[in-house]
Amino acid sequence: MALKYYGMARVLTSAPGTEGHGRMAGVGVTIQDVARAAGVSPMTVSHVLNDHPHVRTETRERVLRAIAELDYRVNVAARNLRTGRTGTIGLAVPEVDRPYFGQLAAAIIAAAARHELKVAIEQTGASREGELDALALSRHRLYDGLILSTVGLGSADTELLKVDHPVVILGERIFEGPVDHVAMPNAEGAKAATAHLAERGCRRIAIVAGRTGDQVDVSSLRLAGYREAVDEAGLGFDPALVVPIDALTMEDAAAAARRMADSGLVFDGVFCVTDTVAIGVLRGLADRGVRVPGAVKVIGFDNVEEGAYTVPSLSSIDPDHALMAGTAVELLARRLAEKGQGKRPEVREFVSRWSVVARESTGG
């Protein structure tokens, strides 16, 4: 279907300019050099660098001047070694190129900045090993702590989470885990989404979800909410309306929707376990000429930004990302502060709030 013409790649190289790359400022300048230039001891420079209070203003200014002149930069590695901290937290997500995780990462970065923490993003590839790798990395003292957006780890892996640095699990809930976690209102949100479809008149509501294994993955948790809502609405649960897909991607979702339409399955509503899935479903239904919301109503979960711009625009459950991100960072920062104070307080769990965002896809 997609037609392509090609243009050529090209590589150009140019000779080094005569302006020359002379001496680069700031290379290898140490705190010692600054101290010498300012006529003080290295310690004093360090004090200035770290905003210690007991430095005469005049001395401080002399030091700052020397720093500027020499274009001095602290060597972070040395500081990290000495202090045992890096000022960086890790964020492990399945894939940065999925809208939801991209938006989550942005929110976490913003929240971390408020705590003067930097964020390094790891990709776990949505696999158990990837997640374990991320855990290992922070054990290498690369990060002061880790925010882990799990999908691969299950309740069975709780032992592995007993590491010596703070970890906050984000997204799913690992029951009885030994670490803090920030969870989505998975069941409640899914229930609300499904109920919303029922209110809008749907009687045969399908759910498109990932294959459910462990009971703590998104799909299982949201499927549970779906079932509750279906029961409460008195619609009766029909297994044929549960449509499994291999990966929660637009591609798989679109294919599933086409199959649903082709198979003659009767349905007038679809709860998609994720907005990404919903976008795929919208596309799949369009491929078969199924009108949304006329013939079928669709709702997703995550309230991804793109959802406001699809045609029709996508109804969704908003789990308040900013709140989740902020809380995750907050919990981690608190643990970091507790470090060394020997405190070993209770495990904290935060379940975010949710809201139904009704847009065109449910006849909003």
Partner DNA sequence: TTGTAGGCGTTATCAG
Partner DNA sequence: CTGATAACGCCTACAA
Which does residue 109 touch among its own copies, DNA, none (CB within 5 to 8 A, set by kind)? Answer: its own copies
Identify whether the C-beta of residue 168 lies closer than 8 Å to the C-beta of residue 147.
Answer: yes
Residues of span 213-252 touching its own copies by CB under 8 A: 250
Residues of span 11-30 touching DNA by CB under 7 A: 28, 30
Binding-residue total with its own copies (CB under 8 A): 97
Read out DSSP for 121-161?
Answer: EEE-TTSHHHHHHHHHHHHTTSSSEEEEE-SS--GGGGGGG
Amino acid at position 186, single letter: N
Residues of span 35-64 touching DNA by CB under 7 A: 40-44, 46-47, 49-50, 52-56, 58-60
Burial class (CB in 10 A: 0-12, 13-18, 19+), 158: middle
Which does residue 30 touch among its own copies, DNA, none (CB within 5 to 8 A, set by kind)? Answer: DNA
- Is 263 a binding residue for DNA by CB under 7 A? The answer is no
Identify whether the C-beta of residue 225 lies closer than 8 Å to the C-beta of residue 299.
Answer: no
Residues of span 93-152 touching its own copies by CB under 8 A: 95-99, 101-103, 105-106, 109, 118-121, 123, 136, 139-142
How many other CB atoms sit within 10 Å of the CB of residue 322?
A: 15
- Is 233 a binding residue for DNA by CB under 7 A? The answer is no
- Is 15 a binding residue for its own copies by CB under 8 A? The answer is yes
For its own copies, which stretch binds (CB under 8 A), given 11-19, 209-217, 240-248, 265-273? Answer: 11-19
- Is 93 a binding residue for DNA by CB under 7 A? The answer is no
How many other CB atoms sit within 10 Å of the CB of residue 84?
A: 11
- Is 142 a binding residue for DNA by CB under 7 A? The answer is no
Among 25, 78, 96, 156, binds DNA (CB under 7 A): 78
Work out how close the CB of 99 gets to DNA at its nearest, in angstroms, rounded to a whole number. 39
| Token pair in block for residue 22 | 């002379």
| Token pair in block for residue 300 | 């997703």
Among 81, 113, 266, 347, binds DNA (CB under 7 A): 81
Half-sphere exposure of 24 (CA within 13 A, CB side): 5
Give the residue carrying structure tokens 């009767």. Answer: 266
- Is 191 a binding residue for DNA by CB under 7 A? The answer is no
**Distance from the first to the final alpha carbon of the chain:** 33
Nearest to residue 358, comparing CAs of 306, 279, 299? 299
- Is 363 a binding residue for its own copies by CB under 8 A? The answer is no
Using CB under 7 A, list all residues that contact DNA: 28, 30-32, 40-44, 46-47, 49-50, 52-56, 58-60, 73-75, 78-79, 81-84
